[in-house]
Amino acid sequence: MHTWILNQPGQFTVVQPAHPHNPAPGEALVKVHRMGLCGTDYHAYRGEQPYFAYPRLLGHELGVEVLAIGQGVSEVRVGDRCAVRPYLACGQCDACLRGYPNACEQIKVLGVHTDGGLQLFLTLPASQLHRSGKLSFDDLALVEPLSIGAHAVNRAKIKAEDRVLILGAGPIGLAVATFAGFHQPQQLVVADVQAQRLRLLSQLSFPQTPQPLPLAQHPLEEILSSFGGKNPTVIFDATGHPQSMEQCFSYAAHGGTIVYVGLCRQTLSFSDPLFHQKELSLLASRNSQPADFDQIIHLMENGHLHTKAWITHRYPLSQLPQAFETIFSSAGDICLKAMIATDA
């Protein structure tokens, strides 16, 4: 069975996947059954993704089956269904030793810095696998993108009295909205300039239903109006749009917190007097932690987190190039999550 390698922006080429080899001590050999497509893949396809080099086998949102384990592996057993934590940390740098493997100084993310799940058979450190005896491969492939939202929310330390604004109603913004809702803030608003994206809010299940806010010509006034004339105390920017990210400083309440979840390639600027006047806290959120994966699997297994409606598009592996073209050309058909079945 062939697969696809992204040779350069906009160009996939057919390749034969590498033959699987026996896992070394501490490793597991897995078969990839599902691969979710995300903004990282789309940006790589367009040539807009930082930290990326071509050619590359994409794929970091994975639902896999364990085929073999190496000596000393106790985390998983043959036959286990697992989510994959795709952030390969060195374990030796200052960040890793201080408990931040998600920000490892030598990190290699599957499908970005190193070849990802389109290898079909993948050998990984067994510690990167999070098993479940209940969840489907679809569910397991959704754990990683949901974990980005969970980690961002954990960074923000939302309180019940907070007024929370999420900018961007894409998959990451909606994941943030999901986990922010578990904290039951005073108000939870999701804003986007594309009103059709906000319709997704009525199709998904949230612990606290977010209020949709379409942004138009005067975003500051529209945001203040949605919060009853007050500024939001916690803002998550999931747009990756430089102008949106910079405007967060004007939107935020005094003593507020801004979390950048989206990523852009430009250098950002802000008013230092405004930053100090409001005594703002500015946080970045990168990847996620092992505990985030365990939390999400627990919530899904116990029926507290429902994901069926997240998958809006499905394609077999043979149609991967067409999937990218279809998603980009579907002006009125919003894609929340496209799922690739590698075993179809």
Same domain, 183 and 217: yes
Three-class DSSP category at 164: strand
Q: Look at residue 298 and tell me if it is in a domain.
A: no
Same domain, 160 and 272: yes
Strand ranges (DSSP E) for 72-186? 81-84, 87-88, 108-109, 121-125, 129-132, 163-167
Q: Look at residue 76 and tell me if it is in a domain.
A: yes
Same domain, 221 and 334: no
Q: How many domains does the chain have?
A: 2
Q: Look at residue 141 and tell me if it is in a domain.
A: no
* pLDDT one-digit tens code per residue, 72-92: 999 999 999 999 999 999 999
Same domain, 127 and 245: no
Q: Look at residue 138 and tell me if it is in a domain.
A: no
> Dihedral angle at the C-alpha atoms of 190, 305, 111, 151, nearest 10 degrees?
60
Name the pTM for this structure.
Answer: 0.94
| Distance, CA of 85 to CA of 72 (rounded, Å) | 20
- List the domain range (segments joined by +) for residue 104: 3-133+311-341
Same domain, 62 and 172: no
* pLDDT one-digit tens code per residue, 267-281: 999 999 999 999 999
| Residue 174 belongs to domain with CATH number | 3.40.50.720
H or E element, residue 198: helix 195-198
Closest residue by Cα to residue 342 from 126, 121, 83 = 121
The DSSP-derived string for 95-109 is HHHTT-GGG-TT-EE
H or E element, residue 275: helix 272-277
Q: Look at residue 236 and tell me if it is in a domain.
A: yes
Could you say which residues of the chain have pLDDT below 70?
A: 1, 330-332, 344
Same domain, 323 and 212: no
Other residues' Cβ atoms within 10 Å of the Cβ of residue 214: 14
Same domain, 156 and 100: no
